[in-house]
Amino acid sequence: MVTSDRFADTAVLLTGAGSGIGRATALRLVAEGAAVFAVDANEAGLAGTVDGASGPGRIVAYVVDVSDEPAVVAAVDGAVTELGKLDVLVNVAGIHRTTPIERLTVEDLRALFDVNVVGTALFCREALEHLPEGGVIVNTASSSASHGNPFMTAYSATKGAVLAFSLSLASEVIGRGIRVLVVSPGSTTTPLTAGVRLGGLDARYYSRIASPMGAGRPEQIAATIAFAASRDASYLTGVDLRVDGGSHI
């Protein structure tokens, strides 16, 4: 288990903390001394994350639908009240759907954009009222934001939007001494991707998605998120850190 004091006296608001990459990130940050305000729509998932956390930091769970604007406002206010301040925002919350273009619906588009894009943007907007000089935002996109994958038109569009939003936000707030970075995982073994089905594709399509190093683990992505949010990355902003095991070399 990784332990250090890299995030001692650091207050972090983390979305999507109930499973997968979000849970791994919460555990990593607590192990390194952070006070983490962990949000997710899944109350049971959050409870599992809290139970698994150990280290010099601490964790507080808060149930919220990231696409609900009043709920997001309340969540950020709650984080500041509970932690006493806010130094870092990490957006991991997201949903995934794979749909052949012939079956793509407006409901698919709205659901994906509401969670993946609107949720990310709302938390950024609200957190920026509290982040000090030296504050950090880390948004999670995907390697699908910049590389094509079959049946992922809508999902990829949302992650491309997160990437574009984040790069422009980095430019907007750099004068305030706030860094904004993107972490873009490739294929990662999580509950989110466990339901992804790509049946009927031939080998050349699978090769676009599979990594030469195999599927990533949530802990590997969490390590990159922790780096991006830490002082070790103090000279990085407005960049996309693609963590995909060489799938797009």
Average pLDDT score over residue span 117-129: 98
Asked if residues 33 and 5 have their Cβ atoms less than 8 Å apart, the reply is yes
Does residue 91 have a pLDDT over 70? yes
240-243 β-sheet, strand order? 58-63, 35-40, 11-15, 88-91, 136-140, 179-185, 240-243
CA distances from 39 to 13, 17, 51, 89, 246 (A): 8, 6, 15, 11, 31
Is 155 considered catalytic here?
Answer: yes
Asked if residues 190 and 20 have their Cβ atoms less than 8 Å apart, the reply is yes
Cα separation, 23 vs 228, whole angstroms = 17
**Model confidence over 192-242: pLDDT tens digits?**
555 555 554 544 454 455 567 777 799 999 999 999 999 999 999 999 999
The structure tokens 């995982």 sit at 185
Annotated catalytic residue within 62, 155, 205, 235: 155
- According to the model, what pLDDT value does residue 203 have? 45
**Model confidence over 144-175: pLDDT tens digits?**
999 998 999 999 999 999 999 999 999 999 99
Q: Which CATH architecture has domain 11-241?
A: 3-Layer(aba) Sandwich (3.40)
Task: Provide the Cα torsion 150, 211, 170, 72; round to 10°.
Answer: 70
Average pLDDT score over residue span 29-47: 98
Asked if residues 221 and 243 have their Cβ atoms less than 8 Å apart, the reply is yes
| pTM for the full predicted model | 0.91
Task: Provide the Cα torsion 77, 22, 30, 122; round to 10°.
Answer: -20
When mean pLDDT is compared across 37-51, 53-67, 178-192, the lowest value belongs to 178-192
CA atoms within 13 A on the CB side of 185: 26
The structure tokens 């466990």 sit at 194
Sorted by where each begins, the domain ranges of the chain are 11-241
Positive or negative, the Cα torsion across 228, 52, 49, 244?
positive
CA atoms within 13 A on the CB side of 132: 9
- According to the model, what pLDDT value does residue 209 have? 56
